[in-house]
Amino acid sequence: MSLRRSIRIELAARAAAATRNETSSAVQRTATHRIRNRRAATATRNATSSAVQRHATHRIRNRRAATAIRNATSSAVQRPRGGGPRGRLLRELKEIMLNPTDGCHVEIVEDDITHWHCIILGPSNSPYEGGNFKLDILFPDNYPHVPPHVQFTTQIYHCNITSGGQFSDSMSRHNILSDNWSPILTADKVLLSIMSLLADPNPDDPTEIVVANMYKRDREQHDRVAREWTTLYAMP
């Protein structure tokens, strides 16, 4: 074989190899492009699905709030009791239903706008964490000139709450249910105050002196007992 022919064969082989490599690269680019398109389509579908779910959740929450408010309004009209300011309670209930406080759930009892049940979640990083604490709230006929009556129906180990679920009458830092009450305060402020009390007890002005003394002298033991009570009484 002549040298010239050998060179032509070598050049042809190199050209064929280059063509194959280019074809392979093009195939790989096409495959990569398809994968990216599929991933983008999947991400778009997931984002759309999440948006739809959020919208559906919002609509469900609004429907539930509207139903509760309609029922409460109907009850207030059908069963007047002393001519109390139910209009204000309806506004407060609507605000709580449409803009719920994290860690707090409220519902009215038997369509009576003056009687609420509430569940408060134990604050994080506290011995009450993970607990569902139930409260009973009654609004008197002269609300908001006097505070609502609030009582824990779930047992709780707390220096400012009695074994019967009552609050201290002199909780200087937290008590807006007696001496520090003002008509400008609302039900959601009451709930926030109670949640604050769970996160930050006041052992210097207790209703349960034994619990307060343990809180001051042996915080670790206090928290251990409080967690045990939370597990025993406040967890499903």
pLDDT by residue (tens digit) across 78-100? 444 444 578 899 999 989 988 88
Return the percentage of the chain with pLDDT > 70, whole number. 64
- The two three-digit tokens of residue 43, written as one number: 């991400």
Of the candidates 228, 174, 168, 169, the residue with the CA atom closest to the CA atom of residue 198: 174
Top-confidence range, 90-99, 186-195, 202-211, 213-222 = 213-222
Is residue 201 within 8 Å of residue 216, measured between CB atoms? no
What pLDDT score does 67 carry? 60
Quick: pLDDT tens for 47-76: 555 554 554 454 555 555 556 555 655 554
Summarize the confidence of residues 185-211 as an average pLDDT. 91
CA–CA separation, 87 vs 92, rounded Å? 9
Of the options 1.10.3720.10, 3.60.15.10, 3.30.450.70, 3.10.110.10, the CATH number for the domain spanning 79-233: 3.10.110.10
At 8, is the pLDDT very low, low, confident or very high (cuts 50, 70, 90)?
low
Averaged pLDDT score across all residues of the chain: 79
Of the candidates 60, 40, 63, the residue with the CA atom closest to the CA atom of residue 52: 60
Is residue 204 within 8 Å of residue 216, measured between CB atoms? no
